[in-house]
Structures are given as structure tokens and as C-alpha cells.
Structure 1
Amino acid sequence: MANSLELFSLKGKVAFITGASTGIGLAVARAFAQAGADIAFGYNSSPSAIETAARLSQETGRKVVAYKVPVAQSAVVEQVVQDVANEFGKIDVVVSNAGITWTSGELIEPEDHKAWQEIIDVNVNGNYYVAKAVGRVFKSQGYGSLIFTSSISAQIVNIPQRQAAYNISKAAVTSLSKNLAVEWASFARVNSVSPGYTVTEITKFADAELKEQWKKLTPVGREALPDELVGAYIYFASNASTFTTGADLVIDGGYTLV
């Protein structure tokens, strides 16, 4: 029987993480590298992503290579996944984390469909494109672990802000994760993490008053820090979870309990 701590080691593994340049993605990339994984560091528009990846490599002693990957562009996703597989020789773990939020208010408010299309393109189609590309790699290898970043918003209607489009997109992510867990059961595991309100760039739209309301609705009385989420990702990425697939782990300070 393996040592319990060794089960959580990522030594020798290769992890591809989208949306890795900030927030949850960056915290996961750092945690994975500290746990022994080499990192394919996916980013889109961050001007400092390449420098961040280089600094992470220097800090952890792991191989970290930055890849520009706008997840809403299927052809680019396919090429980047192939580039990662060629560069590292394999892909053990993929964290499909890239996403955007909805700040347009009630669903009927925008005068055109641009905001809706953008959130569907990134949050729904982007996750599908990543899954499709890495699924081929996993099937060829005969193993792999795909982890989606979903949200508690997949399960609830957030208040007081109006964000139906975001909630719908995250519900799709959670459902995609569960469906792929069944479809891929013979060769890969698929799980999702659903954070509650977390201090990241994606929540910068919220003013102090709105954030105070979030805190009042959360039993522990505050937002999460990205580092408080990484244990879930390490579990799903590691050999500690070899019989875990189709799970959605909610980390929300008790928000969805009340």
C-alpha cells in the first residue's frame, strides 16, 4: 500500500492548465509545480504571463512552458494541446480553468447578443474544445485526469446581482464534466471544482457594498482565497483519487447550505 502522502504527489506528472496567469489558475499551477508536476501554462491576454511562468519555474525548479491559448478558438486549442503533448511527451492532467464573468445585468438588458455569445464561447464552447482535444490524447495514452473549474453558480441563482448567463454557462460545465466521466470511464477520470465567492480578478466588477452582501450570505463570513482551493485540484490530479470520477467538489464557505 502506498504511503498516504505519496498518493498526493504529482512528481513525474505533466499538467496543462488554462487560465493559469492569474487567480485560481495561477494558484493551481503553483501548487501543482510545488507538488512535483511540470506545467504547460496556458494564458490568453495577460501581458506578464510569460514572465510569470518563468518565475514559477525558477521558484519551484519544475519545467514550466507558457502557451497562448484563447480557448474559444477551437483550431488554436487543438494545436496547443498537440504542442504540449509533443513538448512534454505526455499529458497526465488538464485543468480547464479559463473563464469569464457576466456583468451585463439582467438577461434581457443587453441590446445585442454579443455579451451572451462571448460567455457561451468562452465558458461553454471553450471547455468543450479543451475537453475534445485532450480527450484524444488521454484515449491514446490510456489514462488522464481532466478537472473543470465550475462554480456554485451552476447550482444556485446568485443574489443580488443578475447573472443568469454566467450561471447557465457554469451549469453546462458541471454537466459536461459528469457526462464525460461516464463516456471516458475506460481511459480517464473527469471531475469538477465549484468554488464560491473567491478573491480573484473575475470578481473585480463587484463594489464593496456588493461584496459585503456576499459575505453576509456566506456562513464563514468572507470570500475564499485562491490558495484555499488548490487542495481539491491536487486531489483530483493525483493518485489519491483513482476511483473518483464524475464528482463536483463545492468549496464555498457554506454558502450553498443556507
Structure 2
Amino acid sequence: MVLAQPENKHVLKAFDLTGKVAAITGRHIYTSDGHVAGGARGIGLEVSKALAEAGADIAIIYSTSKHADTVAAEIAAANNVRAAAYQADVRNQSDIERAIQQIAQAFGKLDIIVANSGIAAHQPAEDYTTEQWRDIMQVNLDGAFYTAQAAARIFKKQGFGNVIFTASVSASLVNLPQKQAAYNASKAAVVQLAKCLAVEWVDFCRVNCISPGFIETDMLDVHPKDGGKSGTAWSLPRDCCDVCLGVMVYMLTSIV
């Protein structure tokens, strides 16, 4: 009987992303004047670094950032990969479509999209304004879909691709003392969206969703200073990356 032989002699080769092109959207925050801003920061930045460490070329998608080009250059130099920054507003369907098409043209293809944008607000549910509710849904849900949709059009033509959504543990539990019903609802919707797209797009790409726990990034500045830290296990973005990197890379390899 002929036994199957491993394709790679070293097991870590199975997790090598060398030659892959990954695009990652950045986290968003509310500025002091109530506007939405975001870029090469937080979890998105750490995921970009992590995938570059695994060998992938990186495209950082940011909405507003003075440092995105510098961050991309640092990632490229540190990991001997290609990296570049592209400006786009994930809330705008045509804008994110434009950016992702630019990335595919510049890099020659697109293998991976990480839909990571998100904002939160500390707001009693009875006090949400139409604008506050809409802003959160537009970034967290609409933006996630528009990002994945634009990438999927490329993946369908290529016949391959990977989509990863960043949801949240808040998709399945109620955070206390944070009052963030809109954020929680939007992330629960992202989880269900990922399930739907995984079925619809099964012929040409893989769709997955990760739900990180409590990560201390500047997105949490909207919450009270204590933020419930006394009763919650918090971690820094890099700590999250150490935990999530293996999961992400596993989902992005050909061995799944």
C-alpha cells in the first residue's frame, strides 16, 4: 500500500504565507468632535505585522492616518516583504471597491482580505441618536460587507481567496459595565454575515470570522476610564496578536 507523503518536510512550511497578498482594514475611533476616523493602529496594525512575519505582502487600508505610509515602510523593512498603504472609507461602497482594485492591480493579485474596521460608543441604549446608531452600523456592518464584497469580486475571477472578519466576543455576550448595544448588535450581525457568505461564496473563497476578547486599544477611550478593568481580563493588541496569529494563519493556509 502506498502511503501519503507530506508535501513539506518542515511542519511550519504549511503555515508559510510567502507570496500571498493580504489587505487589512484598520480600526476606527470617534474623534473629540464626534467624527469617525481611523487607520494603521490597534488590532489591524498588529495583524498586518503578524501576517508580514508569516511572509505575506501587506496592503494597509486606512481612512485617516498621518502615519500609514511610514507604518507600511516599517513593516516592509522589518519582514522583507512588500507593504503599502491605501486610503479608503469602508462606509463608502465605491471607495473601498476602488482601493481594493488598486491593491490587486499594484500587487498583481489579492489572496487575503481582513475586514477589521470597527467603532464603539459608550451610550445608554435609550439615548442613541439616529446618527450614533447609523455611524456604528455603517462602519462595523456595512463596511465589513463592502470590504468583503469588493474582495470577493476579485476572488471569483481568480477562483481563490480568503476572507476573515474581525467580530468580537461582544457578539455573543453582554459587556458590563460598558453600555454598547449598537456595537454588540453590529458584531453579532458580522458573525451571521460571515456564515452566510461562507455558504454563498464556497465555490471560490473561504470565509471565516474571529471574535477577539477584551483588547485595550484606543477604541476603548469612549468608555469610562475604569472601563470595568477591575473585573475583566484585558490585554494589549500585541497580546491579542500572539493568541490570534496562529488561528488567523491557520485559516489562511491551504491546509484547512
TM range (shorter): 0.7 to 0.9
Instruction: Quickly say closer, same or farther: Cα 1:59–1:193, change in 2 above 3 A.
Output: same
Aligned residues: 234
Tell me the residue number matched to 1:50: 69
- The amino acid of 1:2's aligned partner reads E
Counterpart of 2:25?
Answer: 18
Equivalent pair of 2:125/2:181 in contact (CA under 8 Å): yes
Instruction: Provide the residue aligned with 1:9 in structure 2.
Output: 16
From 164, 176, 183, the equivalent of 1:147 is 164
The whole-number CA distance in structure 1 between the counterparts of 2:204 and 2:157 is: 9
* Separation in 1, partners of 2:45, 2:81: 15
Q: Percent identity?
A: 40
Structure 1 residue 213, shift from structure 2 partner: 3.7
Deviations 1:219-251 (A, max 9, x none): xx443523222222212122232xxxxxxxxxx
Aligned to 2:125: 107
RMSD across aligned C-alpha pairs, in angstroms?
A: 1.5
The CA deviation at 1:207 is 4.3
User: What is aligned with 1:136?
Assistant: 153
Could you tell me which runs of 5 or more consecutive residues in structure 1 were left unpaired when the two chains were aligned: 216-220, 242-258
Long gaps (5+) in structure 2: 1-5, 27-38
Q: Is the 8 A contact 2:121 2:222 kept in 1?
A: no
Asked if residue 232 in structure 1 is aligned to residue 247 in structure 2, the reply is yes
Q: TM-score, normalised by structure 2?
A: 0.87
Q: 1:115 to 1:10 in 2, by over 3 A?
A: same
- Contact map agreement 1:197 1:214 (CA 8 A) in 2: no
Note if 1:188 corresponds to 2:205: yes
- Measure the CA separation in 1 of the matches of 2:99 and 2:209: 22
Alignment check: 8 A CA contact 2:177 2:228 kept: no
| Aligned residue in 1 for 2:32 | none
The SS at the match of 2:226 is: helix
d(CA) in 1 for partners of 2:103, 2:81: 15
* Counterpart in the other structure of 1:83: 102
Q: Which amino acid aligns with 1:50?
A: D
Question: How far apart, in 2, do the equivalents of 1:156 and 1:2 lie?
Answer: 42
Give the TM-score taking structure 1 as reference length.
0.86
Contact 1:29 1:39 in 2 (8 A): yes
Aligned partner (choices 165, 169, 173) of residue 182 of structure 2: 165
| 1:214, distance to aligned residue in structure 2 (A) | 4.2
Indicate yes or no: 2:110 matched with 1:96.
no
